[in-house]
Amino acid sequence: MTAREAGLDDELTDQIDRFEESDFPDSWKVALRLTDATILSPNLVDDALRVQARQHFTDVQITEILFDIMKWSWQKTLVALRVEAEIEGVKDVRFGADGHAIHA
Where are any strands of DSSP class E within 38-100?
93-95
pLDDT, position 104: 54
Nearest C-alpha neighbor of 99 from the set 74, 59, 72:
72
pLDDT, position 17: 92
The letter for the amino acid at 54 is R
- Which of the pair, 27 or 101, is modelled with greater confidence? 27
pLDDT, position 66: 93
The letter for the amino acid at 92 is D
> Can you say whether residue 47 is alpha, beta or left, with left for phi > 0 and alpha for psi between -120 and 50 degrees?
alpha
Residues 18-58 have pLDDT tens digits of 999 999 999 999 999 999 999 888 888 999 999 999 999 99
Residues 54-91 have pLDDT tens digits of 999 999 999 999 998 888 777 777 767 777 666 665 55
Burial of 53 (0-12, 13-18, 19+ CB in 10 A): buried
Asked if the model's pLDDT at residue 95 lies above 60, the reply is yes
pLDDT, position 51: 97
